[in-house]
């Protein structure tokens, strides 16, 4: 997450963008049967790690995730809560560090009544996650690989199917401020599935964006506002 300053929390809210008389205004997003717009809110500890991650749909909480870390800032536990605040799943982690004390492998072991996978294996190179594999027993449910640029921004997400065949790719482009400006999704043949363009409309004094416009392939426009609270 590309954020400047000592941030205590940040919340992203999405709206339907409407242009009137050359100005962009916001309206509630339409309720559709085939898509649910999810807003995200994050709380950070004093070391910049995410303590709580809350998701909302139509301003109602749907999920909450609570994290704990060790002295190396590696995740050691993650708790999953549902819309009512009930704890439904819980994970513990086993981490492998290299000689420099950097994380190279993370295994998340999931338990609970709503578990759809048993283990999530993540591999890291130079502190960046390069591979994530979800297992159900010995069967691979999902596999993703990641590529990064010199600024440690993800530039490509590769989603693999059975036999490590490419299912689809998601490519990201960034500006000089390391903010994403375009996302292109392509299929296994390299044909474009969708394109999203990002335009930043407003920034705060710390240089963090507070208003962004996303334009999709179908010309749908989403206005995203970020509400940032800085630690005093």
pLDDT in tens, 145-164: 999 999 999 999 999 987 88
- Spatial distance between the Cα atoms of 185 and 156, rounded to a whole number of angstroms: 10
Q: Count helices and strands (H / E) in the chain.
A: 0, 17
User: Can you tell me whether residue 91 is helix, strand or coil?
Assistant: strand
pLDDT in tens, 57-76: 988 999 999 999 999 999 99
- Spatial distance between the Cα atoms of 15 and 61, rounded to a whole number of angstroms: 17
Mean pLDDT of the chain: 93
pTM given for the model: 0.90
Bigger pLDDT: 117 or 82?
Answer: 82
């Amino acid at each position: 997450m590309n954020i400047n300053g000592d941030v205590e929390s940040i919340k992203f809210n999405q709206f339907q963008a409407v242009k009137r008389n050359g100005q962009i205004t916001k309206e509630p997003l339409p309720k559709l049967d085939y898509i649910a717009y999810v807003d995200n809110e994050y709380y950070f500890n004093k070391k910049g790690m995410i303590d709580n991650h809350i998701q909302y749909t139509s301003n109602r909480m749907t999920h909450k995730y609570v994290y704990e870390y060790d002295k190396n800032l590696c995740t050691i536990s993650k708790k999953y809560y549902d819309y009512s605040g009930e704890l439904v799943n819980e994970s513990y982690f086993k981490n492998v560090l290299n000689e420099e004390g950097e994380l190279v492998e993370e295994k998340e072991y999931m338990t609970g009544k709503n578990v759809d996978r048993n283990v999530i294996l993540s591999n890291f190179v130079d502190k960046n996650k390069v591979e994530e594999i979800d297992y159900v027993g010995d069967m691979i449910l999902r596999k993703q690989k990641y590529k990064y640029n010199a600024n440690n921004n993800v530039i490509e997400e590769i989603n693999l199917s059975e036999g490590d065949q490419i299912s689809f790719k998601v490519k990201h482009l960034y500006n000089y401020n390391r903010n994403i400006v375009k996302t292109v999704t392509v299929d296994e043949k390299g044909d474009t599935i969708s394109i999203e363009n990002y335009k930043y409309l407003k920034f705060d004094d710390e240089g963090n964006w507070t208003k962004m416009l996303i334009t999709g392939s179908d010309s749908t426009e989403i206005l995203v506002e970020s509400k940032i609270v800085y630690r005093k």
